[in-house]
């Protein structure tokens, strides 16, 4: 159902099916706004539900179980819908994209948090991703980033600092933890650029099966070697797994790939500025974490910054 809803939204984006899009109707304009909003909200819940499940399982074991469940669900969906599988020569590029987006990014974040890096610090490191993506999108993808967009990226990073500032003093964790957080940021940056350049034509159902399978192969030795695949089954863990598999791994990832396929990598990456503020609000609702006035100032700056980066002048 979730995949179908995203497909309907995507189908209403100008140019998704028709190579010569017609003038955008008001409903299509709403769809253009809706898909990024859905992506940000869904992606932001990942940090919250990871916090819910991690006390009961090691980070790599958590991810391995998540990958295997998603592989089973997407394989059944792909077979039921007779989705085309990647050609033999396309499997490796698709798999590499999955390793960067899933194994590299998620593995780095989960491992960093598990060794003492505070969520706010991890969010701040991840906040560098839109800036790095914009810097690399020019030489690697031929994208142009205007002065207005660079200013927006700077304002966005400032806003992220204000949102997470209360947690920055709680601890950077170990040097290894900070290295893992930086590795996660570099992985999602590389994954965004790789997905844009090499995976634009993949079927989002079968391609995702390949990507999650590659991530599961890489993650299994880590889960087995460092954690012994130990799991303490508890209601919180089951809830977290269900949400992360269905809503994050299928819903949010599909939304992100659709956005990457249809827009500039630098513009899509700017949406990640919205994740820390949205996560902070969700954590406030679910866990009653505090929100200070300065955090709201940061949220306003982030929204303004993303608007600066993604805004396009209306065509005559």
Torsion of CA 246, 248, 249, 253, to 10 degrees: 130
Least confident of 26-30, 218-222, 253-257, 300-304: 26-30
In angstroms, what CA-CA distances link 304 with 6, 273, 301? 26, 11, 5
Asked if residue 82 has pLDDT above 50, the reply is yes
Contact criterion met (CB below 8 Å) for 4 and 210: no
Predicted local distance difference test score (pLDDT) of residue 12:
42
Higher pLDDT, 311 or 41: 41
In angstroms, what CA-CA distances link 225 with 100, 200, 218, 229, 291? 21, 35, 12, 8, 39
Domain boundaries, given as residue ranges, for the chain: 35-310
- Across the chain, mean pLDDT equals 79
- Surface-to-core class of residue 142, CB atoms within 10 Å of its CB (0-12 exposed, 13-18 middle, 19+ buried): exposed
Predicted local distance difference test score (pLDDT) of residue 61:
96
Predicted local distance difference test score (pLDDT) of residue 113:
73
Residue 237's pLDDT band (cuts 50, 70, 90): very high
Predicted local distance difference test score (pLDDT) of residue 13:
38
Asked if residue 18 has pLDDT above 90, the reply is no
The pLDDT tens digits of the residues spanning 183-234 come to 988 898 899 899 888 988 899 999 999 999 999 999 999 999 999 999 999 9
pTM, entire model: 0.77
- Interval 125-148 mean pLDDT: 76
Predicted local distance difference test score (pLDDT) of residue 200:
80
């Amino acid at each position: 159902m979730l995949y179908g809803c995203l497909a309907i939204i995507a189908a209403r984006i100008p140019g998704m099916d028709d190579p010569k899009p017609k003038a955008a109707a008001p409903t299509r304009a709403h769809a253009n706004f809706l898909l990024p909003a859905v992506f940000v909200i869904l992606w932001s819940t990942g940090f919250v539900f990871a916090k819910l499940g991690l006390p009961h399982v090691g980070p790599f074991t958590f991810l391995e179980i998540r990958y295997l469940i998603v592989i089973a669900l997407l394989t059944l969906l792909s077979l039921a819908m007779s989705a085309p599988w990647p050609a033999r020569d396309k499997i490796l590029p698709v798999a590499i994209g999955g390793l960067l987006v899933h194994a590299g990014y998620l593995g780095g974040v989960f491992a960093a948090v598990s060794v003492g890096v505070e969520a706010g610090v991890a969010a701040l490191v991840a906040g560098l991703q839109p800036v790095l993506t914009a810097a690399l999108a020019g030489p690697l993808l031929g994208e142009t980033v205007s002065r207005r967009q660079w200013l927006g990226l700077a304002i966005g990073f400032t806003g992220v600092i204000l949102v997470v500032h209360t947690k920055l003093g709680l601890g950077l964790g170990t040097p290894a933890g900070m290295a893992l957080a930086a590795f996660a940021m570099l992985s999602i940056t590389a994954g965004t650029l790789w997905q844009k350049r090499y995976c634009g034509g993949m079927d989002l159902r079968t391609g995702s099966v390949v990507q999650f399978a590659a991530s599961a192969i890489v993650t299994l030795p880590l889960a087995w070697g460092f954690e012994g695949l130990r799991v303490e089954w508890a209601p919180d863990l089951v809830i977290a797994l269900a949400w992360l598999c269905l809503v994050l791994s299928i819903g949010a990832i599909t939304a992100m790939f659709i956005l990457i396929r249809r827009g500039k990598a630098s513009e899509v990456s700017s949406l990640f500025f919205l994740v820390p503020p949205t996560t902070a609000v969700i954590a406030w609702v679910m866990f009653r974490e505090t929100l200070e006035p300065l955090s709201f100032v940061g949220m306003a700056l982030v929204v303004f910054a993303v608007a600066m980066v993604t805004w396009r002048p209306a065509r005559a």
